[in-house]
Amino acid sequence: MRVHVVSDVHGNTEALARAGDGADALVVLGDLVDFVDYHDHGRGILGQVFGAEKVGVFAELRRGPTGPETGLFLRSLWGSLDDPRAVVDEAVRTQYAEMFAAMTTPTYAIPGNVDSPALWPEFAREGLHMVDGQVVDIGGLRFGFAGGALLGKGHVLRPDAPWIPYLRYEDDFAAAIDGLTDVDVFCTHIPPSVAELTYDVVARRAEVGSRALLDAIRRERPRWSVFGHVHQPMSRRVRIGRTECVNVGHFQRLGRPYALTW
């Protein structure tokens, strides 16, 4: 068996259409939406709506620890639009229509934090499996899936915000992980809480990893734990006991899948 795994697609539809070539199945670990393109400020939803110059300011504010000025600047951008939620929803749907159509059969997909999972059922079709919170048999191995990222301590999602990322409270995510039992492969968007896997050397900050996932890896002892989320990690691979923990790569930039074979 050969399964190709990608994460952090961020609008790279052309490469996504080739990601399943030569594989028995494709696994997509989320972040389909190109919301803020930090490499080309004119692309992504923010770039299309507000232009490269303003996105450049936002990108610089996001570099390193995020302070209150980042939120203030972003709110000023949204305040310039009559109906920012409608603008974002239309842009996300446009990207999803292209990306879900590009996925080969069969594909098993979960959302990342830069996704709108409530919209996913609109794009359901035969051969495309939306498996957040499920355990699925692929080629005789049990794959357990949990999407989204963790909401930082003290942070609250604003229900009236133009864009609501898929962020989960730690207890909610832990419950999802605990429901994935007897698995051979953990498939998540975020990494386990291991310093080498969570620190982004370019953004110069640590992303939030999951302690519950780390505990489950030690308890379940799967063959693999695969994930994305951290675009430029200090280390792409760490071994925990018998489990190979692998950041499958920033697919938007790399354009190539990570292969699991057995």
Q: What is the pTM of this model?
A: 0.93
Q: Which amino acid is at 256?
A: R
Query: What pLDDT does residue 152 have?
Result: 79
CB neighbours of residue 140 within 10 Å: 8
pLDDT tens for 166-177 read 999 999 999 999
Two structure tokens written together for 238: 């760490």
Q: Which residues contact 101 (CB under 8 A, 6 or more apart)?
A: none
Q: Which residues contact 188 (CB under 8 A, 6 or more apart)?
A: 29, 110, 145, 146, 147, 177, 210, 213, 225, 226, 227
What percentage of the chain exceeds 90 in pLDDT?
A: 81
User: What average pLDDT does this structure show over 234-254?
Assistant: 97
Query: What pLDDT does residue 217 have?
Result: 98
Q: Which amino acid is at 238?
A: V
pLDDT band at 205 (very low <50, low <70, confident <90, very high): confident
Report the range of poorest mean pLDDT among 11-15, 151-155, 193-197, 227-231: 151-155
CA angle 8, 80, 148 (to 5 degrees): 25
Two structure tokens written together for 19: 């990601």
Closest CA to 9 of 91, 94, 109: 109
Query: What pLDDT does residue 64 have?
Result: 62
pLDDT band at 65 (very low <50, low <70, confident <90, very high): low
Query: What pLDDT does residue 68 have?
Result: 78
**DSSP at 68:** H
pLDDT band at 69 (very low <50, low <70, confident <90, very high): confident
Residues in the chain: 262
Q: Is residue 44 pLDDT above 70, yes or no?
A: yes
Q: Is residue 157 pLDDT above 90, yes or no?
A: no
Query: What pLDDT does residue 134 have?
Result: 98
User: Would you give the distance in Å from CA 67 to the centre of its chain?
Assistant: 23
Query: What pLDDT does residue 66 have?
Result: 66
